[in-house]
Amino acid sequence: MDQDGYSLSKWFCKMFCIYSFSLFWTLFGGTVSVPHSLLGTYTAVNTDEFTCVLWHDGEAVDSYSSNGTDSVPRRNWMREGRGRSLWKSVKRRNMAQWNRGRTDILKNYTGINMSGAAVLQGRFGCEIERNPDSGVRRTRTFAQYGWNGEDFLSFNLSRLQWEASAGSAVPMKRKWNRDQDITMETNNYIEHTCVIHLLDSLSFEAEESQETAEPTAAVFAKRSWDPGKVILTCLFTGFHCRDTTVEVYRDDDIITEDGLLSSGIRPNGDGTCQLRKSLDISNSTEASYSYEVQFGSLKRLVKWDGTIWERATPRQDYDYYWFFMTLVLAIGLVPLFFVFMRLLRDRWRRQPNQRTEDLALSVIERVDGAQVE
């Protein structure tokens, strides 16, 4: 491969890689939002007796019933101090929502045939997404009733109205929509109170997790495709998903340059999160690099020991690498080339047809003109 061809293919491949990485980072990079939910589900059969299960982030953490059978909350913070007071409030407000429907539907609502088994179910709660960059966003709310396994009534937060999911629920819908107290109490609970309870519970959970969690931080360097560069990376993982900052230092100065890439806070799948930052540096640098992690009251400084891991040692004959990358790029562009050629062929086919039609119209006009004369 001659020098000019090698330089051109190298430049073209670099531009393609940069563009592809930028596109990927725009679509999939950045900080990931973490969903959280707080939900109470109730079931009553024929009578006032009922059972309730409380769910926190999709896990059943507590349950109780009308006959006094209660379980022990599964989180320590729910049983102690201020966390216990918060959890009692969660139970009380969920019960307030359930009691209204239970009273009206099971006792006072006569539009439903009460003969045989009658199962009433309720679901009340909220779901949010937390993003360290954009804050908290409420995504879903739950204020719903079911009758004998079918949807019955649900509250539409955007319209501030109850909606009937079955024809038999229409009278109840009309009754509740005329009662502004029911409407406003339901709206306040699922839109405000539930979200506040959920955020407070996440705060208690974070404190408990911080006491027991053992986050780890590591700094390592791997060789880059560029023979003169290495990729320096800091990985901080195993911490509770909350605001965390990582600063990168070159000697004693914080690095703020554009080449510093961050993964954002991402969930590990086990309730903890990770954060990764990377920077391209010269493999011959004499500077000292370190990372400082700030996580709640925890602060940790991790220094790079200068070790470089072998990942992709540059080949002696670098031409083969760029030839291979150019070949991959060319293969990727082949489908686009065929699409372009097909569009161009269709356009060429339309042009003769259009000229034929124009000629035919011209002949017809001349014939018509001759007949008129």
- Burial of 251: CB neighbours in 10 Å, binned 0-12, 13-18, 19+: exposed
Give CATH for domain 34-212: 3.30.500.10
Tokens of 45: 């059969």
Query: Can you give the residue ranges of every domain in the chain?
Result: 34-212, 214-309, 330-366
Q: In what order do the strands lie in the sheet with 298-303?
A: 253-254, 244-250, 289-295, 298-303
pLDDT recorded at residue 116 = 57
Strand partners, 316: none
SS3 content of the chain, % helix, strand, coil (to 5): 40, 35, 25
The span from the CA of 36 to the CA of 38, in Å, is 7
3-state secondary structure of 271: coil
pLDDT recorded at residue 21 = 43
pLDDT recorded at residue 310 = 67
pLDDT recorded at residue 71 = 83
Strand partners, 162: 155
Level-2 CATH architecture, domain 214-309:
Sandwich (2.60)
Instruction: Report which of residues 372 and 262 the model is more confident about.
Output: 262
| pLDDT at 19 > cutoff 50 | no
- Residues in CB range of 336: below 8 A, 6 or more apart: none
Among 276, 244, 236, 242, residue whose Cα is nearest residue 36: 242
Most confident of 58-62, 115-119, 228-232: 58-62
DSSP letters, 182-239, are HHHHHHHIIIIIHHHHHHHHHHHHHHHHHHH---EEEEEEEE-SSTTEEEEEEEEEEE
Please, are residues 137 and 126 in contact by the beta-carbon 8 Å criterion?
A: no
Taking CA atoms, 358 is separated from 37, 152, 348, 353, 355, in Å, by: 67, 65, 16, 9, 5
Phi, psi of 245 (to 5 degrees): -120, 145
Least confident of 242-246, 311-315, 323-327: 311-315
Strand partners, 302: 291
**In the structure, what pLDDT confidence band is assigned to residue 28 with cuts at 50, 70 and 90?**
very low
| pLDDT at 29 > cutoff 80 | no
Mean pLDDT of the chain: 75
3-state secondary structure of 299: strand
- Kindly report whether the global pTM for this prediction surpasses the value 0.75: no
pLDDT recorded at residue 134 = 61
- Indicate the residue type of 121: Q
**In the structure, what pLDDT confidence band is assigned to residue 197 with cuts at 50, 70 and 90?**
very high
| pLDDT at 150 > cutoff 60 | yes
**In the structure, what pLDDT confidence band is assigned to residue 26 with cuts at 50, 70 and 90?**
very low
Strand partners, 57: none
